[in-house]
Amino acid sequence: MSAQPFPSRRTVLNSAGLAAVTICLAGCAPAAAGTTSSGSGPTTVKAAEIPVGGGRIVGQFVVTQPKAGTYEAFGYLCTHQNLPVQRVTDAAIVCGRHGSSFSLADGSVLTGPAEKALTRATVTADGDTLTIS
């Protein structure tokens, strides 16, 4: 039996389906209500969406409100292995990959293995909209 010079119809259809899934995973995730993000550029979020004594991951940033009316922001990449942190609790910004956690107030390390604080970002308030850059 000789090899086929062209891919079979099944191979072509499977490849097209995989490509469609890959494209959708990259661009079909719904944005959270009230937020805008354009990759690594400035991101906006409604101040009311950031809980007092907690925070949220917004685009490529973590936005916190350690006390009422005080907003802080940090890059979302854990300083241990440069992977995205996973969640924000009422106690810390948490990277569950290896257990590091960071302060809501200044991004400093609370528990390792990370040794460096999260990278600070700038928060600018305009009415009820926060712009993070």
- Is 93 one of the binding residues for ligand FES (CB under 6 A)? no
Query: 119, 107 in Cβ contact below 8 A?
Result: yes
By CB under 6 A, name the one of 50, 73, 95, 118 that touches ligand FES.
95
Least distance CB 34 / ligand FES (angstroms): 27
Gap between the Cα atoms of 30 and 94, Å rounded: 23
* Alpha carbon 132 to its chain's center: 13
Tell me: does residue 124 bind ligand FES (CB under 6 A).
no
Distinct helix (H) and strand (E) counts, the chain: 1, 12
Answer yes or no whether residue 47 interacts with ligand FES by CB under 6 A.
Answer: no
Task: Report if residue 81 touches ligand FES, rule: CB under 6 A.
Answer: yes
Residue 67 per-residue DSSP state: E
Binding segment toward ligand FES, per CB under 6 A, in 10-18, 32-40, 43-51, 74-82: 74-82
- Nearest approach, Cβ of 58 to ligand FES (angstroms)? 19
**Cα–Cα distance between 118 and 53 in angstroms, integer?**
18
Residue 88's DSSP bridge partners are 93
Phi, psi of 88 (to 5 degrees): -125, 125
CB of 119 to ligand FES, least distance (A): 13
Q: Which residues bind ligand FES (CB under 6 A)?
A: 78, 80-81, 83, 95, 97-100, 113-114
